[in-house]
Chain A
Amino acid sequence: MKRILVPAVLAAALATGCAGPTAVRGGPGTENPNLDDAAMSTGLDRKDLEYLLQENVEKLMASRAWAEFHNAPEAPVVAIWPIRNDTTEHIENQLNTLLATLESKMVESGDVAVVSRERQREMAEEVGLQNTNGVYDPATVARLSKQVGARYFLTGKVQAVDERMEGERRVQYTLTMQLIEVDTSLIKFQHTAARTKAIVR
């Protein structure tokens, strides 16, 4: 025991040796194609958001409501409102990216006419709702959607159940999307996709 202590001291001291960090490029076509695959934290990364969005969009486009849009003589006008962040992570920027992707997918489908989000932002600003909770209030959103000529509006929220215990943390995320008819307030489509992130031992 005594003999191994001194070498152990030196070994522990040497273990503190360091190597500097290096910037790398990742993704398809690079030397690190799987760089995006690793989870770096319990936050939502692009891969998680793509998954949550993709599942919701697939369900939306397979829904009865969407079939009606597809067969309608004229594409109905749809307004897309911000996705509410009810999580324990600062993901507003990621949600804005998500919204842009959602907008692109809906425009590309050709089944609906999408109101410019810039126009919606202006409307919200005009009535003093920018950066307030009002842009998530269903009644307010319905009123504003009507003002921009939309027949339907699409909205959503990300929620999280965040728990910690000794040495571990788990966050269960859900993205719920709703398509609501402006005149009747009827929910024409709703789906929830789930994703869990954790730091485990």
Chain B
Amino acid sequence: MPLRLVALALALVAGAGCATYSDHTRAARESLARGDFERGEAQLNEMLGVESSRELPVEWGSETALAVLERATVLQAMRDYATSARDFTAAEKELELLDLANDDVGAIGQYLFSDDATRYKAPPTEKLLVNAFNMINYLARGDLQGAAVEARRFTVMRKYLQDYFPGESHAAFGSYLAGFVFEKRGEYDVALRYYDEVLQETDASSLHEPIVRLASKAAYRTPRLESVIGEVPAPEEDPEEGEILVILKTGRVPVKEAARIPIGAALGLASNYVSGDTKVLEYGMFKVVSYPELVPTRQVYTGGTLRVAGSPMPLDFVTDVEAEVLREYELLKPKIVGAALTRMITRAVAAEGARAAGRQQSGALGFLAAALVEGTMVALDKPDTRSWSTLPASVHLARIRVPAGQHEISVDLHGPGGSGRLTRTVDVPAGGFAVADFTSLR
């Protein structure tokens, strides 16, 4: 009889199990994978409890800032740059407050239930990329003033991460775009500093000519810049020319999904990060650990061939965002699994307490009480699958000098999912610039 009751109780509890963040965003991500951005946007709005992207949510829960960040990314892909910028700014402000805030209630919840009980603290990669992506929203509208604000914010975050998380990702494309912003503002030394940051990460050949050109106007030098400056003679500038900045973002980064591993394997991975007596786990009913595992997203497109007026042009693969996210996760994984193990120990201790209390009346009641307490807590343990899931997997950049006027830009996308073509027409002013921004989101 007690065993039947236990089974029934566990079934009820399991039925009440909560969906994780990746469950909540799944429908939107599937729409994006089909290339249906409008549907993906609508599903994110549904998740946010708003009727359209004109609205920001009134109440901000544990997932809201992240969901607004997802919507900002989709809106940028749809080239609604003004609304995307508003969303990025709103989400960033909230994420910053969450990052700086104390979270005592969340910490208790994390200890007892799940990492999901805490406020969302964006990992370094996401923190840095918010400003880098928002810079695109201002650049695409020719707003150098707004782009410069984002570039400065990017730098503040980059410096902070270098100080506190040395060795973490550096989002070279953010430095590339920031350099472009300050170059176009006529702040050449600042631009060269950013370009040097790019060269630290990757040899972006599309920057060589601009660096040589800027070298005649600015004094800032590093050995990396010197080696580029020595390569080619300074090009002559034609005042009737302008420049096209091409930004191509393909694929999506891996997402976190709920996963389980046996306790033994988990202990092998994360024993240094476990608090409590692991022997208690022998008495627990559950022998597997729930944790968030990073799962690759099926990439439809991984790159593209750029053409201007039909002629192929080089495109630099500047940032492998997917690799940066993976590397960051692998570093954090032992801590994540360790936290899950610590929660299992807490649950086992709680179950033992309930068992002892129940036994004072009868042995069967003690067993039932222990099973109910541990089962309830297990059901409430949602692996924290929160992450910026619509983040593009890779960023490619190009700069092309062209005569002032209209120009047709196309990108022939390619990858494991087949091929596709994106086109834009840009109007380039003499001495100015235009941005051709492409996002596949799949």
Contact = CB atoms under 8 A, between A and B. Distances in A.
Contacts of A133: 144, 185-186
B350 A163 contact: no
B89 interface: yes
B101 to A, nearest CB: 9
Nearest to B153: A88
B105 A20 contact: no
B160 A199 contact: no
Interface string B164-204: 10000000000000000000011000000000000000000
A162 B59 contact: no
Chain A interface size, under 10 / 10 to 19 / 20 to 34 / 35 or more: 35 or more
B350 A9 contact: yes
A6 B108 contact: no
Contacts of A1: 349, 353
B160 A165 contact: yes
Secondary structure at chain A's binding surface: helix, strand, loop or mixed? mixed
Nearest to B149: A90
Interface in B324-379: 346, 349-350, 352-354, 356-357, 373, 376-377
Contacts of A89: 149
Kindly name the residue among B100, B160, B357 whose own CB sees the greatest number of chain A CB atoms within 10 A: B100
B152 A12 contact: no
Interface residues of B, number: 42
Contact of B59 (A8, A21, A90, A160): A21
Contacts of B96: 169, 199
A8 B142 contact: no
Secondary structure at chain B's binding surface: helix, strand, loop or mixed? helix
Interface in B79-111: 89, 93, 96-97, 100, 102, 105, 108-109
A88 B156 CA distance: 9
Nearest to A9: B112
Interface in A1-52: 1-3, 5-6, 8-9, 12, 15-16, 18, 20-21, 41
A21 B60 CA distance: 10
B349 A131 contact: no
Given A2-B352, A12-B108, A167 B100 contact: yes
A132 B144 contact: yes
B156 A9 contact: no
A130 B104 CA distance: 50
Interface in B136-172: 142-146, 148-149, 152-153, 156-157, 159-160, 163-164
A199 B97 contact: yes
Contacts of B1: none
A201 B350 contact: no
B219 interface: no
B164 A166 contact: yes
A137 B164 CA distance: 37
A12 B346 contact: no
Contact of B353 (A6, A20, A162): A6
A141 B352 CA distance: 78
A20 B100 contact: no
B373 A6 contact: yes
Contacts of B89: 90
Nearest to B353: A2
Contact of B157 (A21, A87, A90, A164): A164
Interface in B108-140: 108-109, 112-113, 117
Nearest to A137: B186
Contacts of B373: 6
Interface of A: 1-3, 5-6, 8-9, 12, 15-16, 18, 20-21, 41, 85-90, 92, 131-133, 160, 162-169, 199, 201
9 contacts: A1-B353, A2-B353, A3-B357, A5-B112, A12-B109, A20-B59, A132-B144, A133-B185, A164-B160
Interface of B: 58-59, 89, 93, 96-97, 100, 102, 105, 108-109, 112-113, 117, 142-146, 148-149, 152-153, 156-157, 159-160, 163-164, 185-186, 346, 349-350, 352-354, 356-357, 373, 376-377
Chain A to chain B: the 8 pairs with minimum beta-carbon distance, closest first: A2-B353, A164-B160, A5-B350, A88-B152, A162-B156, A133-B185, A88-B153, A12-B108
Given A12-B105, A85-B145, A163-B156, 7 more contacts: A9-B350, A20-B58, A87-B149, A89-B149, A133-B144, A162-B152, A167-B100
